[in-house]
Amino acid sequence: MVMMKLFTSPTCPYCPKAEKVVSKVAKDEGVVALELPVNTDEGMREALKYGIRGVPALVVDEKYLILGVPDEVELRRLIRKLKGGDMNEAS
């Protein structure tokens, strides 16, 4: 299962757009997306773990880091590539 972690901040002007893109792609592609606000203890711990210093930032499958608002087409392409390794994928 592909997992996306979106790091946000309540004061970030770009985060709502990133949230919208990630939420739509997650729903359409059947993957899990978590939002982690960096103004919470858990969000800050996770951000430090990945070396994230700015938001929005998206970690995909613990392997890929996308800074800024993700491009929907590119994000879908990456997820489909990652899901291609799943034996259960019926696409």
CATH number of the domain enclosing 69: 3.40.30.10
- pTM of the full structure: 0.89
Q: What is the DSSP letter of 70?
A: P
Is pLDDT at 90 greater than 60 in this prediction?
A: no
Residue 70 belongs to some domain of the structure: yes
Closest listed residue to residue 43, CA positions, set 10, 79, 3, 71: 10
Q: What is the pLDDT of residues 2-20, one digit of tens each?
A: 999 999 999 999 999 999 9
Residue 31 belongs to some domain of the structure: yes
Q: What is the pLDDT of residues 38-55, one digit of tens each?
A: 999 999 999 999 999 999
Residue 89 belongs to some domain of the structure: no
Angle at 47 between CA 44 and CA 50, to 5 degrees: 150
Is pLDDT at 1 greater than 50 in this prediction?
A: yes
Q: Are 8 and 38 in contact (CB under 8 A)?
A: yes
Residue 67 belongs to some domain of the structure: yes
Domain count for the chain: 1
Token pair of 91, please? 């696409």
Residue 56 belongs to some domain of the structure: yes
> Range of 32's domain?
3-83
Residue 69 belongs to some domain of the structure: yes
Is pLDDT at 85 greater than 90 in this prediction?
A: no
